A and B are shown apart, each in its own frame.
Chain A
Amino acid sequence: MNRTKSWLFAILLAALYVLHQDFWFWSTARPLAFGFLPPGLWYHAGFALVTSLVMWLLVYAAWPSHLEETVRPDRAESGRAESGQEHAGS
């Protein structure tokens, strides 16, 4: 991950952390989404979905593939061979 990308993701994750502390909806039970979900629930449901989206961005833009390259080929190979069987078994 280059420096700019690192900073961008650090800011994005920090922003998510701040957004989680939604004190602005603390004492209100309205508006109700779908007529029954209060803000304390629909906001945090949305938060979980947005987090999943950010995780997708993180995985596809900043995946630490260099870590995989440090693994000994024989160990990585044994894992791959067993992986196929594990799938069939499960």
Chain B
Amino acid sequence: MISTAVVFLYLGVVLYIGIFAFRKSRGAGKAEDYFLAGRSLGPFVFLLSMFGTHMTAFAILGSSGHAFHNGIVTFGLMASSSALVVPVLFFFAGTKLWALGKKHGFMTPVQFFRQRWECGHIGTVIFAVQAALLVPYIIIGVMGGGAALSAISGGLIPYWFGGALVAVVVMSYVFFGGMRGTAWVNTFQTLLFLCFGAAAIIVIGSGMGGFRSSVEALLASPATAALLTRERVPPLFFLSYTFIPLSAIAFPHISIFCLTAAKMSHFKKTVILYPICILAIWMPCVFLGVMSNRVTDVPRIQEKIQARRTLASEGSRLSPGQRDELKEKMAADDVMLLLLGRYAPVWLAGLLGAGVMAAVMASDSQILALSTIFTEDVFAYYGAKDRFGEAAQIHTGRAFVIAVTVFAYAVALEAPQTIFDLAIQFAFSGYSSLAVLPLAALFWKGSTKWGALASTLWTAAAVLGVAAFQTSIPAPPPGPGIVAWSAAGVDILTRTPSGTAVLGFMPVVPMTLISALLMFLVSTVTKKPLNGREMV
């Protein structure tokens, strides 16, 4: 009860920050002020809010849940690969995007593409694909909010109500505060969840009687020893994951955030400290997720372990429906919260629960980004801004914030997959493939609008193709997958227990490589823009 009260207090604080930002707004009625905080963020706010924007529900909940079942490999898969790829993208592409945005007044990536490649409706196609891929990412936040509040309250708050409450709070401070409110809330949230990792390790470690004996016990059991190695994930799968962080520069909420810095030098701290921030939040979550396998006195954790064992030993004899039921029981996104409930004193569990909520509520930036790209790339581009004025554009943006949040909530209530799967399979893979667009626009003079269109359409088709493939062939039990297409003794397309493999790689690898190839081939044979090349 106390922990629930602390979380409610936290929700009140972030709501207040958003409204405070609204009152501090200096350019009321100006789209640039509402959507980009007047391009005025300082280095401290820029670093922390950029990190908070990139880290979503899965940074705490999804990572610990993934590590619970797959072991320590989770850290190398997503965290350390992001620690390398994301700062490199910020250094080379983020700074250039910032300079072009400041020089030409761009507020969205599509505005840049339209000027760079001298195109109109192709920009609208890119907007449509960006928006369609962003929505699942927003759903993650709502699902995480529902799961977190339900777990923190010990089931007192049902999932549907928790998700609704988080959605309303996020919607409210984005509605009022715009980018300034979102950035301030993200800064506060990032500070909270950076403290969360250290506190959780200390509290849970001492509660478990130290980690040394727990690790030795895990190693002594054949059922759990592999969790401390990376045997459960093939090396090609591990390599595939290094393509996922490319999505960072293609996500509208990240590329728009690059435009909010007051000075380019504000990127310096972000580039240098990003790997350390990732280490600070992911390492405790992954490690504690693995350690959860040693917890014997939390019935809900035991149920997950039992479901995993049943699926591994009897999966091949069960129907797809029964396997899905077991997978639902295995869903481990709440494992960190269950650990806190077991080992942290009640008042501290509330504070740590607020830290979890901070990560979960990172969907604010995505909601704002979707509103920004809609009002700039569609509403303003097709003349509504000129007809109705800038104030109407901001009103439309706010109405869009409400519409998107309601839609995301409705889908979150129905979506059966775990947070991690949903994010990886659709949003991340699609955006990694779309990363070819900003990279080509920024660094290759020879790129053209037709190349961009080819990459965009390919991305949309590939995402739909993977979704259709996984729907038509149910996930097999743990073990070797179902080969759907092979040639000359080589397995080309396989339905695996967790998704799809193409020549042993995750779909993101061929998606991104083919996207780059299409950009190159189509651009090579089509007419180059006349003036846009000067931006490179």
Contact = CB atoms under 8 A, between A and B. Distances in A.
A55 B229 contact: no
Contacts of B40: 78-79, 82-83, 85-86
Contacts of B15: none
A27 B73 CA distance: 11
A3 interface: no
Nearest to B239: A21
B235 A28 contact: no
B296 to A, nearest CB: 19
A71 B239 contact: no
B238 A21 contact: yes
A86 B286 contact: no
Given A26-B230, A59-B268, A48 B73 contact: no
Contacts of B229: 26-29, 38, 40
Nearest to B48: A90
B225 interface: yes
Contact of A17 (B72, B73, B84): B84
B527 interface: no
B262 A75 contact: no
A78 B80 CA distance: 37
A44 to B, nearest CB: 4
A36 B72 contact: no
B365 interface: no
Given A44-B75, A67-B95, A86-B40, A36 B215 contact: yes
B117 interface: no
Given A55-B272, A58-B91, A76-B102, A48 B42 contact: no
Contacts of B214: 36
B262 A48 contact: no
Interface string B272-296: 1111101100010011000000000
For chain B, which range describes its interface: under 10, 10 to 19, 20 to 34, or 35 or more residues?
Answer: 35 or more
A54 to B, nearest CB: 9
Contacts, number: 168
Contact of A21 (B95, B96, B235, B274): B235
A80 B262 contact: yes
A5 interface: no
Task: Identify which of B41, B235, B275 gathers the most chain A CB atoms within 10 Å of its CB.
Answer: B275
Interface string A23-63: 10111110010011110110011011101100110110001
Contact of A41 (B219, B225, B239, B283): B283
A13 B73 contact: no
B95 A64 contact: yes
Interface string B42-83: 101100000000000000000000000001110110011101
Nearest to A65: B264
A87 B180 CA distance: 12
**Residue of B211, B228, B268 with highest tally of chain A CB at under 10 A:** B228
Interface in B221-245: 225, 228-231, 235, 238-239, 242
A30 B38 CA distance: 52
B309 interface: no
29 contacts: A20-B80, A26-B231, A27-B229, A28-B229, A29-B219, A29-B229, A36-B211, A37-B287, A40-B72, A40-B73, A40-B75, A40-B229, A44-B80, A47-B83, A48-B83, A48-B278, A51-B87, A55-B91, A67-B99, A68-B263, A76-B102, A76-B263, A79-B261, A85-B26, A86-B37, A86-B40, A86-B41, A87-B44, A90-B44
Interchain residue pairs A-B with the least CB separation, the first 7: A82-B40, A83-B262, A67-B99, A36-B211, A29-B228, A79-B262, A44-B80
Interface of B: 24, 26, 37-42, 44-45, 71-73, 75-76, 79-81, 83-84, 87-88, 91, 95-96, 98-99, 102-103, 105, 184, 187, 210-212, 214-215, 219, 225, 228-231, 235, 238-239, 242, 261-265, 268, 271-276, 278-279, 283, 286-287
Interface of A: 13, 16-17, 20-23, 25-29, 32, 35-38, 40-41, 44-45, 47-49, 51-52, 55-56, 58-59, 63-65, 67-68, 70-72, 75-76, 78-80, 82-87, 89-90
